[in-house]
Amino acid sequence: MKVDRLVSIIMVLLDKKRIGAQELAEMFEVSPRTIYRDIDSISMAGIPIRSTSGVGGGFEIMENYKLDKKVFSTTEISTLLMGLSSLSNVMRGDELVNALAKVKSFIPADQAKDIDVKMNQIHIELTPWMGNQNIQPFLELIKTALQENKLLAFDYVSHRGNKTARTVEPYQLVLKGNHWYVQAYCQQRSDFRLFKLARMSRLKLQDEDFTPRAFQKPQLEFSDILTTLQTEITLRIHRSVMDQVLDYCAFEHFTPENEDHYIVRFPFIENDYHYNILFSFGNKCECLAPPHVRKEMQRKVREIAGLYD
């Protein structure tokens, strides 16, 4: 969103003495031309930005300029506070406390009540209801390693259950869906890997520093690939599991069958993960079609029942 980017650019310019258009473009993943337009917008808002060309040139806010609190609108300050407050639920530390205090210092007295109301209109809670209790301390250790360029060592269990010891150079913490990952360069594999925090154990911060290398961003968008792999299957579900099923498909895919049941066109990939999703609905869900998926469900049910004979 442009407004969010403009606020972020202002904060970067306040923090750095001078920064080039290309560096800003890479930071915000836009083109240099977009950055030039953003700088013009910031200047029009009343913030004096000086541009220097040539080697070592870039943009900077003129010395001795004090940011007028009124530069930030009520909505903009609310958005900043909302994001920082949500992040502080899972990332502890003086940096976030100080950042919250600084942003709050921009609040004009006559707007404090309005901003407080807007800030609380959306609450983002990133802490889990239950589950792996190592995630919180792991986040703190990884954050320290990122800030100090320290190696991390841990045991890692793959999705197939294989356990290996890893030593990595951490480069980025990633929250995808409701799971935390760290993108790191693995010394054992001599390549970048995306590690899921829930699969880690015995995470330790090493004394050894590393020299950062060119960072390879993880691939996080798989919509096109999933669309190619997915097919639609037909389910009959009881209304009591509708809420669970809606986590995986839109309500437009539901057709009422009777007072208690729906027929659902469900996106499906034929692998263990998606079969397990169907089993998570228990006896409130029946696969009607296609026949081969229904038969595979029957086979898996017999296999599970065999464990209890």
Q: Is 133 helix (H, G, I), strand (E, B) or coil?
A: coil
87: domain range?
A: 74-119
For 254-302, what is each residue's pLDDT tens digit? 999 999 999 999 999 999 989 999 999 999 999 999 999 999 999 999 9
Mean pLDDT of the region 198-205: 94
Does residue 2 have a pLDDT over 90?
no
pTM value is 0.59
Q: Are residues 232 and 283 in the same domain?
A: yes
Cβ contacts of 5 within 8 Å, gap of 6 or more: 28, 30, 38
Domain boundary among 156, 181, 209: 209
* Structure-model confidence comparison of residues 67 and 53, the more confident one: 53
Structure tokens at 134: 């190592």
Chosen domain end from 56, 87, 119? 119
Cα separation, 197 vs 178, in Å, equals 11
Q: Are 108 and 156 in a shared domain?
A: no
Beta strands 163-176 and 179-186 are antiparallel
Tell me what pLDDT residue 133 has.
Answer: 67
Is 127 part of any domain? no
Q: Give the list of residues 6+ apart from residue 109 with CB closer than 8 angstroms, or none.
A: none
Q: pLDDT tens across 30-63, in order?
A: 888 888 988 888 888 778 888 888 777 888 887 7
Beta carbons within 10 angstroms of residue 208's beta carbon: 10
Which of the listed residues 147, 180, 209 is the one where a domain comes to its end? Answer: 209
Average pLDDT of the chain, as a whole number:
84
φ and ψ of 191, to 5 deg = -165, 165
Query: DSSP states of 239-267 as a string?
Result: GGGHHHHTTTS-GGGEEE-SSSEEEEEEE
The CATH number given to whatever domain includes residue 14 is 1.10.10.10
DSSP annotation of 130 reads S
Give domain status of residue 165, yes or no: yes
Calculated CA dihedral for residues 54, 49, 77, 25, nearest 10 degrees: -20
Number of domains in the chain: 4
At 70 the pLDDT is 56
Q: Report whether the peptide linkage leading into residue 48 is cis, meaning its omega lies within 30 degrees of zero.
A: no
CA angle 193, 141, 217 (to 5 degrees): 30
In single-letter form, the type of residue at position 138 comes to: F
Whether 49 and 81 map to the same domain: the answer is no
Cα angle 53-57-60, degrees, rounded to a multiple of 5 = 105
